[in-house]
Structure 1
Amino acid sequence: MVNLSTVQASNASLPKTLFTRNGPVGVFVGATNGIGRASLLAFAKYTQQPRLYFIGRSQTAADEVLGQLKDVNAGGQYEFVKADASLLRNVDEICQSIQAKETRLDILFQSQGTLDFSSETSEKLPLIMALGYYSKMRFIANLLPLLQRSSTPRVVVVLAGTKEGPVNPNDIPGKKVKPWQARGHLCSMMTLTMERFAQSAPSVSFVHSYPGFVRTSLDQSIKGVTGVVMRSIFSIVNMFATHNWISLEETGDRHVFLSTAPRYAAKERSAGLSSEGGGVDGPKAVVASNGQIGAGVYTVDEFCESGDASVQQVLQRLRENRTDQKIWEHLNDVFKRVTGKSSIH
């Protein structure tokens, strides 16, 4: 476990260790509520003169966030982009707008998601997959050139890192996946897709984060009777649960750490780092999703630790039977069907 004091010390050192000349440029998707909002505010708090874009659907919530951002760091520049990020065509428009304004991007942080299992978008995608997977991967595909122009680029995706599971190669979209297997299925898709992006962009590092038990309003997105039943079950389970809740403040601090700490370096930049190095954030390189030190893609738990051997074995089996290739092909098929192209460049 990475102690919270270590996390906070590393974050506090950022103006002197990472963003020493120019303030960071960041894009935060799903940042008007919950984990995304906490992480955006924490990132603004710990950095000097940040230039941050944040995407969400609610102008009212955004106005509150803008006020909080100015309170924690009046020296930053903040721009809200009102959009429904579940639609890939909207993602393209957002990315084109950012590309027109910026020459580099240091951090792409994504926490958009829903537990609405029944709805479908106007682009004929299940809403839960559109937000949880397709839009996240579309942002990466579109913004990768800007990230590659940064000296310390990083992508952080919040879902359930270290919870990867089997994927049926004949059902990549997960239409027939049993509910209790859905998380592992989607998590493996996420990590393996980021590995493919890392192959073409070895100067960029990718982190798949599991935030742990954080009190948010996500369960309110479950619709109808199912939602009522599930929220009741959650309440009962939580009354007797032994897990420790993680506060929004702590999850914000930990996600700043995941977004900046050198231990999660890109493959191209990790060669000179030691797995036993010193520094305020401890070891300088950690085990990546493929089991290698500093390989550039990291699946991490709520305490910022890499997935263990069992996680690596699940992913290795999926690589060996070429499920990773089928996931990649499926993603590009969806991109081309919906938008007509694999990315906006």
Structure 2
Amino acid sequence: MIALSTVQSSNAASSKELPSGLVGVFVGATSGIGKATLLQLAKYARQPRFYFVGRSQSAADEILPQLNQINADGKYVFIKADPSLLSVVDEVCQSIQQNETKIDILFQSQGTLDISTETSEHLPLIMALSYYSRMRFIANLLPLLQKSPFGRAMIVMAGTKEGPINANDIAGKRILPWKARGHLCSMITLTLEHFAKLAPGVSFVHNYPGFVATPLAKSMKGVTGGIMRSVFYFTGLFSTKNYISLEETGERHCFLATSSRFESKERYGGSSGREVAVGSDGVVGSGVYIVDEVCESGGKDVQKLLNGVRQEGTHEKIWEHLQSEFLRVTGKSTIQ
């Protein structure tokens, strides 16, 4: 466990170590973990330029004054958009490309627990937000991340909770509900590993935030949603000590976004003298990190599971599936 005091000390130091003019893109930052991280990072950054993407203008109107109060030297731009649509993701990325020559941090926490809705692009909403749109943002913005001396892409989902993948159902349309999280998390981590091969100068973090009180449960619909909300309520009622505050989760995600512990493979280069985390493949400093709610790397069990999936060649099938969906929906692999 990395103590909160250690996290806070690292974050405070980052305000001096990171260059001014930090450019960050936050998707899903109008509430919950994304908002908490955006506000905390604004506190530590010097003259930052932050873009945050979401659907709620009213939520953004509440956040903008807070950002300016926290750090009046920063520039904050809200982009009103629905990130569940890949075509919209492309438009957002194009607008950012027109204004920036690099991106230092790409932070994505968009998501839903709505398992019944399908988008107009014929993707399940839960998968569109949790996987496809996140990977599309990375694919589109990877060139700008590569131009940063410490580019980092972060995914908030359930790193360290990876599970078996059904190679015959990559899209997860027939996956049993209790196996869906592990399937999705392995897809995310293995896709990040592919991006890391394309861009070894960029680091990638897939984390599990733990139990954090966010509006996510409200997105569950129907009878199933009602049952799950009841479970969440009673779990919270009797286990509130297990919940992580928004302030703490904001601090921890700032740490994941800025600490040299999670350096890219190229930047680390096997050098000694610095404490660098173990990557998703079990190798120190390999550039893709899966971490839990206390910022510790995934253990040997999950490393073994992922290695088995790689040996079966399933990681290649995941990439092929992602590319086919990109082409089906948008007609091109990226906006480049």
Normalised by the length of structure 1, the TM-score is: 0.96
Q: Deviations over 1:166-191 (max 9, x none)?
A: 00000000111111111000000000
1:344 aligns with 2:332: no
Within 5 A, what are the aligned runs for 1:151-190?
A: 151-190=149-188
**Match in the other structure for 2:119:** 121
Within 5 A, what are the aligned runs for 1:305-320?
A: 305-320=296-311
Cα 1:60–1:77 shift into 2, 3 Å:
same
**Match in the other structure for 1:9:** 9
**Match in the other structure for 2:317:** 326
Structure 1: gaps spanning 5 or more residues: 278-283
**Match in the other structure for 2:44:** 46
Letter in 2 for 1:163: K
Shift of 1:201: 0.1
> C-alpha separation between the residues in 2 aligned to 1:242 and 1:60?
30
**Match in the other structure for 1:108:** 106
* SS of aligned partner of 2:283: coil
Shift of 1:273: 3.7
Q: Check whether the contact 2:14–2:259 (CA below 8 A) recurs between aligned residues.
A: no
Q: Check whether the contact 1:15–1:47 (CA below 8 A) recurs between aligned residues.
A: yes
* SS of aligned partner of 2:243: coil
> C-alpha separation between the residues in 2 aligned to 1:40 and 1:273?
31
**Match in the other structure for 2:280:** 289
Q: Check whether the contact 2:277–2:284 (CA below 8 A) recurs between aligned residues.
A: yes
Shift of 1:243: 5.8
Deviating runs (4+, > 4 A) in structure 1? none
Normalised by the length of structure 2, the TM-score is: 0.98
> C-alpha separation between the residues in 1 aligned to 2:238 and 2:169?
36
> C-alpha separation between the residues in 2 aligned to 1:90 and 1:242?
38
Letter in 2 for 1:157: I
- What is the total number of aligned residue pairs between the two structures? 336
> C-alpha separation between the residues in 2 aligned to 1:245 and 1:230?
17
Shift of 1:234: 1.6
Percent of matched pairs sharing the same residue = 64
* SS of aligned partner of 2:116: coil
**Match in the other structure for 1:205:** 203
**Match in the other structure for 1:304:** 295
> C-alpha separation between the residues in 2 aligned to 1:98 and 1:273?
34
* SS of aligned partner of 1:143: helix
**Match in the other structure for 1:280:** none
Q: Deviations over 1:189-213 (max 9, x none)?
A: 0000000000010000000010000
CA RMSD of aligned residues (A): 1.1
Structure 2: gaps spanning 5 or more residues: none
> C-alpha separation between the residues in 2 aligned to 1:170 and 1:272?
37
**Match in the other structure for 1:196:** 194
Shift of 1:226: 2.0
Shift of 1:14: 1.4
1:133 aligns with 2:131: yes
Shift of 1:13: 1.1
**Match in the other structure for 1:62:** 60
Return the match for 2:257 from 248, 252, 259.
259
